[in-house]
């Protein structure tokens, strides 16, 4: 991507690349820059680099400035994501993009904090400066790309007496450990993101944001979205946050506050586990219902915060490990707010729960970032009792399975599964850095080969793209 920036800004970007700690190799050469026309002065503190399949951006300043930098530096990626997500959602949810724009405008916008409105509008301005046509409602719908299609749409369908077009997802495998569970007694946290490959292959941005107010933080995310969305983030307040979704959840409050805005606010402003919980409960709309894994490096305490709509619960400890694999933790929440079948021990969530129990027990006292990487790339199926990625392994692949995944309503061979993974410990949190890996560990997904073998997914031509396996890389706040 070609970006017009002044000489001083070129120096900042190159410095950013050089400051990143090296895991296996140096960053690739920085993009070429044109001398004219001079860029907007709001870009003076912005930087962009790339490494091991990740795009790294540093954004800094007021909400509008952070948004402008975001839209400008990631203009091509945002344009591309909008291009593919529109037909993907229309095919899979039976609603077109105008439906999502309107839902965001009428239901979410008025309840979003002013600073995040300004940031969204800043993204639009940055896109305009790069010649990309998108407006406020496009970016709002993009930010709500999890809660509107998979929580609001099913609620709306049920309200009308129709069979829901979509269901709440069952994505991701994550853990957080502390005390006697870890090698140094301090917190270690890991997460891998499961989703469809259309969106997931584009879930490769590392945002380092230094806002005008609140904590500086680093998170993974999608271009154009102001929160992580698969929720892996570390803040200068010493807070570590990740999550796994509660599969087959049913619940939505149209009068609530957008989940994406609350999740962003928690990462930016919380100083403690209690503050994360309070922010997420404030105006809870039931969207993107999760088992949140939270750590406070100042105290060494970790928590499992399960948040539905009617029910929520909190477990916390300074000595132990919590993990998630998309099963509801609370029997009450499971009974009242999900259709989850707790007797299906061969389902993806419960098979992965069993695998988590095995791995955590064996690694007690030795969990560190290296173990975390092993956990998040584990491909042992406890049902078949053999190695090989599928929908029941912690690092999952659905596109190779003829079985389909009922808890997601994904059809056999659906192109989806683990798209990336992240791990960090308390020391890395203090430096605002984490280890990340793009793609399946040691295995590529090639779109053309897949579509040739599975013509039933021809509608994804032009939407799917290759997802090459990358090495683990240390991703740092510049």
Both 216 and 326 in one domain: the answer is yes
State how far the Cα of 95 lies from the Cα of 311, in Å rounded to an integer.
29
pLDDT of residue 21: 38
Both 144 and 203 in one domain: the answer is no
Residue 2 lies in a domain: no
Both 177 and 317 in one domain: the answer is yes
Average pLDDT, rounded, for the chain: 92
Mean pLDDT of 367-382: 98
Span 309-326, pLDDT tens digits: 999 999 999 999 999 999
Both 117 and 203 in one domain: the answer is no
Both 302 and 389 in one domain: the answer is yes
Which domain does 15 fall in, by range? 7-159
Q: Hey, what long-range contacts does 211-214 have (CB within 8 A, 24 or more apart)?
A: 211/60, 211/61, 211/63, 211/66, 211/268, 212/61, 212/62, 212/63, 212/65, 212/66, 213/115, 214/268, 214/269
Residue 110 lies in a domain: yes
Last residue of a domain, one of 159, 187, 203: 159
* Least reliable range by pLDDT among 18-22, 385-389, 402-406, 450-454: 18-22
3-class state of residue 357 by DSSP:
helix
Give the contacts of 403 (CB within 8 A, at least 6 positions apart): 391, 412
Total number of domains constituting the chain: 2
State how far the Cα of 382 lies from the Cα of 47, in Å rounded to an integer.
44
Both 21 and 122 in one domain: the answer is yes
CB-based contact 159:252 (threshold 8 Å): no
What are the φ and ψ backbone dihedral angles of 455, each rounded to 5 degrees? -65, -15
Look up the CATH number of the domain holding residue 380. 3.60.60.20
Confidence of residue 30 (pLDDT cuts 50, 70, 90): very low
* pLDDT exceeds cutoff 60 at 124: yes
Confidence of residue 420 (pLDDT cuts 50, 70, 90): very high
| Separation of first and last alpha carbons in the chain | 20
Tokens linked to 454: 């599975």
Residue 410 lies in a domain: yes
Span 255-298, pLDDT tens digits: 999 999 999 999 999 999 999 999 999 999 999 999 999 999 99
Residue 1 lies in a domain: no
CB-based contact 103:142 (threshold 8 Å): no
3-class state of residue 8 by DSSP:
helix
Among candidate residues 97, 73, 102, 99, the one with its CA nearest the CA of residue 85: 97
Both 120 and 229 in one domain: the answer is no
Last residue of a domain, one of 120, 135, 159: 159
Both 213 and 356 in one domain: the answer is yes
Residue 164 lies in a domain: no
- Three-class secondary structure assignment of 179-191: HHHECCCCCEEEE
461: Cα within 13 Å, side-chain hemisphere: 10
Give the contacts of 2 (CB within 8 A, at least 6 positions apart): 31, 32, 33, 34
State how far the Cα of 228 lies from the Cα of 296, in Å rounded to an integer.
19
Q: Where are the beta strands (DSSP E) in 18-132?
A: 47-51, 54-61
Both 141 and 213 in one domain: the answer is no
Give the contacts of 302 (CB within 8 A, at least 6 positions apart): 176, 177, 178, 187, 293, 294, 295, 296, 316, 317, 318, 320, 321, 322
pLDDT of residue 134: 98
Both 185 and 148 in one domain: the answer is no
Among candidate residues 206, 267, 262, the one with its CA nearest the CA of residue 234: 267
Residue 167 lies in a domain: no
Mean pLDDT of 81-98: 97
Enumerate the H helices of 308-379 as residue ranges: 331-337, 348-362, 369-376
* Least reliable range by pLDDT among 25-39, 55-69, 146-160, 426-440: 25-39
State how far the Cα of 7 lies from the Cα of 10, in Å rounded to an integer.
5
Mean pLDDT of 166-194: 96
Give the contacts of 414 (CB within 8 A, at least 6 positions apart): 196, 398, 399, 404, 405, 457
Both 244 and 107 in one domain: the answer is no
Confidence of residue 478 (pLDDT cuts 50, 70, 90): low
Indicate the pTM of the whole model: 0.92
Last residue of a domain, one of 127, 159, 191: 159
pLDDT of residue 28: 35
* pLDDT exceeds cutoff 70 at 6: no
Confidence of residue 393 (pLDDT cuts 50, 70, 90): very high
Both 262 and 376 in one domain: the answer is yes
């Amino acid at each position: 991507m070609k970006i017009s920036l002044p000489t001083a800004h070129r120096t900042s970007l190159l410095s950013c690349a050089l400051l990143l700690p090296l895991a296996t190799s140096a960053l690739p050469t920085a993009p070429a820059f044109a001398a004219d026309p001079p860029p907007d002065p709001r870009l003076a503190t912005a930087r962009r680099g790339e490494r091991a399949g990740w795009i790294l951006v540093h954004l800094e300043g007021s909400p509008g400035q952070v948004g402008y930098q975001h839209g400008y530096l990631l203009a091509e990626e945002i344009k591309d994501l909008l291009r593919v997500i529109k037909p993907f959602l229309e095919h899979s949810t039976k609603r077109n993009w105008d439906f999502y724009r309107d839902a965001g405008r009428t239901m979410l916008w008025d309840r979003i904090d002013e600073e995040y409105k300004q940031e969204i509008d800043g993204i639009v301005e940055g896109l305009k400066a790069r010649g990309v046509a998108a407006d406020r409602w496009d970016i709002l719908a993009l930010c709500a790309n999890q809660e509107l299609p998979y929580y609001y749409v099913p609620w709306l369908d049920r309200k009308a007496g129709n069979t829901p077009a979509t269901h709440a997802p069952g994505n991701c495998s994550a853990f957080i450990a502390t005390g006697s569970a870890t090698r140094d007694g301090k917190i270690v946290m890991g997460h891998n993101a499961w989703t469809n490959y259309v969106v997931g292959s584009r879930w490769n941005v590392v945002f380092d944001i230094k806002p005008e107010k609140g904590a500086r933080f680093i998170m993974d995310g999608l271009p154009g979205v102001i929160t992580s969305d698969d929720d892996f983030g570390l803040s200068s307040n010493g807070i570590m946050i990740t999550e796994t979704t509660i599969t087959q959840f049913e619940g939505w409050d149209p009068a609530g506050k957008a989940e994406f805005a609350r999740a962003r606010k928690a990462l930016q402003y919380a100083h403690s586990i209690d503050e994360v919980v309070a922010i997420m409960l404030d105006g809870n709309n039931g969207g993107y219902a999760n088992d949140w894994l939270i750590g406070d490096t100042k105290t060494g305490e970790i928590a499992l915060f399960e948040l539905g709509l009617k029910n929520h619960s909190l477990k916390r400890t300074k000595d132990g490990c919590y993990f998630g694999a998309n099963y509801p933790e609370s029997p009450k929440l499971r009974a009242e707010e999900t259709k989850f079948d707790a007797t299906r021990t061969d389902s993806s969530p419960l098979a992965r729960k069993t695998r988590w129990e095995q791995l955590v027990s064996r690694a007690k006292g030795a969990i560190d970032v290296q173990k975390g990487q092993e956990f998040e790339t584990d491909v042992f199926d406890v049902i078949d009792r053999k190695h090989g990625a599928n929908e029941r392994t912690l690092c999952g692949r659905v596109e190779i399975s003829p079985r389909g995944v009922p808890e997601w309503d994904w059809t056999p061979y659906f192109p989806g599964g683990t798209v990336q993974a992240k791990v960090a410990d308390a020391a890395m949190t203090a430096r605002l850095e984490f280890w990340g890996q793009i793609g399946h560990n040691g295995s590529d997904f090639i779109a053309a080969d897949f579509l040739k073998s599975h013509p039933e997914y021809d509608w994804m031509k032009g939407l799917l793209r290759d997802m090459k396996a990358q090495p683990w890389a240390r991703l740092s706040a510049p």
